[in-house]
Structure formats: C-alpha cells, structure tokens
Structure 1
C-alpha cells in the first residue's frame, strides 16, 4: 500500500535511519530503497514493510488493538493489529513480502502481536521526484 509520509528526521550518522510520520503515527525505520534525495520537513510517497532477522515471533492477543510500539531505543517494534493472509493492519498496513504469515493459518483474521527487527521504508518514484 502506498502512503504519503512526512520526514521528521534523517540520522546524520546512520544513513538509512529515517523517522517518518504517516496518518499521525511516528516511527523510525530504514530507508532500504531511496531512488532520490529526501529532505527533512518534506512529504514523499512510500510503501512500508518489516524485516525479521531470525525467527518470526507472533501470537494472538485478546483485544482489538492497532498500534506500532517501539521496543526500548533500538529498531525493534511490536506490530499489533488484524492479521490477513499477506499483511497486518497495525494502523498502517505492513505487507508480508516474505510469506511469513502463510505458516500461521490459525491466526488469519485474528488480532495478533508481531515482533519485528526493523521497519523498512521504500521511497517511491513519482513524476514530481524523478
């Protein structure tokens, strides 16, 4: 899914680290794909994903909740929301590009919590930024 994001912060030390806001939700992720120069204080079209470095940690939660919660001060996050076959709606839709969710058919259409190692941000090309 394509979102318009507002770039709040670009880390001067870690080139890919980017803090953005989408629909009032702020988080820090990694700009894995950025085909043009981005600037703080400007808006850009993006798609959002997640990275799992080891094993996917996922479980059902008893309440309906959509949120993205940072774990400590690192890059790990809890994504809480409704699981679909190929995405999770945590207030922002994260697409499962690596087919993790296929192994959890019993959790489809349920509220879950997923621990991700980082959030990936892909800045998309438009006619305005080519």
Structure 2
C-alpha cells in the first residue's frame, strides 16, 4: 500500500534501517528501495510490505487489535490486524507481494496475528517531496 511517511530516524550504522511514521503508527523497517537521499523530518511517498525468512504462520486471534509490535530490539514484528486477500490491515495496510495469504483463505476478514522477519519500506519516486 502506498502512503506518505514521515522519516523519524535514520540509523548511522545500518544504512537500510529507517524509522518512519504513517498515520500515527511509528515503526522501524528496511528501506529496500531508496532512489534518492532521505532526511529526518521530511515526508516521502512509500510502499509498505514485509519480509518472511522462514515459514509464515498466521493465527486467528480473538482481540480486535490493529498493531505492529516490535519484538525486543530485533527487526522482527508481530503484525496484528484484519486479513484480506492480499493485504493485512494493522492500522496501516501491508501488502502480501509473495502470495502467502492464499494459503489462509479461511481467515480472510478475521483478526489475525503473524510474525515477520522485518517490514520493508520502498521509497517511491515522486516529482516533489512533501
């Protein structure tokens, strides 16, 4: 899903690590695509996805939570929200680019939780930055 993200932090040691805020949701991810220099305090168009390094497991949960919960100081996150055919709404919408959700059609429209290795942030080209 495409958003306008405010850059909150850039890691001085890990070039790809960036903390952004979208619609009041702040999280740290990896800038897998960044075709220009970004600056703290400025907003840019982004596409948000996720990376899975092992098997993805999606579980139904009872709570109606929409959140991204970072696991300790790692890059892993629990993503909780409503599952859709190719997205999950966790307060912000993350897109399933690798067709993982097709194995969980029985959970579409339900509250779920999944664990991902990291959240990917693609900075998109635009004629002007906000």
Q: If the TM-score is normalised by the length of the shorter chain, which range does it land in?
A: over 0.9
CA distance in 2 between partners of 1:5 and 1:12 (Å): 19
- Stretches (4+) displaced over 3 A: none
CA distance in 2 between partners of 1:128 and 1:89 (Å): 28
Alignment of 1:79-94 (within 5 A): 79-94=79-94
Equivalence for 2:104:
104
CA distance in 2 between partners of 1:105 and 1:47 (Å): 24
Equivalence for 2:20:
20
Q: Which runs of 5+ in 1 are unaligned?
A: none
Equivalence for 1:29:
29
Length, aligned pairs only:
129
Note the alpha carbon deviations across 1:49-97, whole angstroms, 9 max, x for none: 0000011021000121111100111000011000001000000000000
Note the alpha carbon deviations across 1:15-45, whole angstroms, 9 max, x for none: 0000001111110000000011101111101
CA distance in 2 between partners of 1:10 and 1:47 (Å): 18
Residue 124 of structure 2 is aligned to residue 124 of structure 1: yes
Q: Which runs of 5+ in 2 are unaligned?
A: none
CA distance in 2 between partners of 1:68 and 1:98 (Å): 20
Displacement, 1:103? 0.6
**RMSD over aligned Cα, in angstroms?**
0.8
